[in-house]
Amino acid sequence: MNHIVEPSATLHAADIARIEAAASSTRWSERAVRDTLERPETLGWLVRREGDIVGHLLTRVAGDTAEVLTLAVLPAERRQGRAGALLHRAESSWRRSGVAEGFLEVRASNEAALTLYARHGWEEVGARAGYYADGEDAVVMRWDAQCGG
């Protein structure tokens, strides 16, 4: 695992949008990324390999609740612990700031992501029928700071 995780900022918006375009079917534009990063409730991280940004995670925190907005790693960089490192950094940050629980939606067909989240202590708590633009359902997952990864 030769990677570095660091906070993201608006200057990374183009890189994050590039990763979204390459890695996710739910793409974020550079403008949407920039607007999100400018909001005070947004926390984000990047993962770099040999200086190149290869993944990112954006979250929103409101009071003692966090939400994962997007987590993406370039396809060639997957299965090397990068998404897990991003998620671990977010969860550690949340705990330090008093977050009690986190939520996210993930495609019902995304077995790799479902496995990753389960390894980090996330539990399936519901579903959203037709949540994605293509009609696919989402699995709703919850993380508890007392129990989670």
Summarize pLDDT for 69-92 with one digit per residue, the tens.
Answer: 999 999 888 888 999 999 999 999
Could you list the beta-strand ranges (E) of 88-137. Answer: 101-107, 123-128
CATH of domain 4-144: 3.40.630.30
Quick: pLDDT tens for 9-45.
999 999 999 998 888 766 788 999 999 999 999 999 9
CA end-to-end span of the chain: 19
More confident residue, 44 or 2: 44
- Identify the pLDDT of residue 28: 85
Known catalytic residues are 105, 117
Domain ranges for the chain:
4-144
Quote the radius of gyration of the chain (alpha carbons, Å): 14
How many Å apart are CA 61 and CA 111, to the nearest integer? 26
